[in-house]
Amino acid sequence: MANTETTLKECLASIEGATGVALVDYTSGMALGTLGGSKTFDLNVAAAGNTDVVRAKMRTMEHLGLKGQIEDILITLADQYHLIRLISGRGGNGLFMYLVLDAKRANLAMARHQLKKIEEDLEV
């Protein structure tokens, strides 16, 4: 079992192309922890904004009567991937991992696989 700090460090260290990561509470929009980012990329602002993305998708699924759970949400930019992974286990209800990847260095399939593996070890 890994705590928040260990989990964030593992994401940046083990996922090729990762430039920033946050653990976010989508009920409040607050980041419980962040690592990486830059002066021009504020992970706290991104966490709050992506909370709206998660809420909108959940609302849409409810309106459509879809019963499945969201595994992850991918946003692709010209030079970045933004991966949002909802946490499903051990007290993770209402939380998501937000991972920013450099599109030129990242392998998206491997990043999704590794993020899932890391998320499974997270204990909040």
Distances (CA, A) of 1 to 93, 101, 113, 122: 17, 25, 18, 6
**Pure H helices in 1-124:** 4-14, 43-64, 108-121
64-107 residue pLDDT tens: 999 888 999 999 999 999 999 999 765 567 899 999 999 999 99
pTM of the model: 0.92
Comparing CA positions, the residue from 42, 86, 44, 95 lying closest to residue 68 is 86
Q: Which domains does the chain have, with CATH numbers?
A: 4-121 (3.30.450.30)
Which among 72, 83, 70, 73 is positioned nearest to 18, based on CA atoms? 83
Residue 4 has pLDDT above 70, yes or no: yes
Mean pLDDT rounded to a whole number for the chain: 92
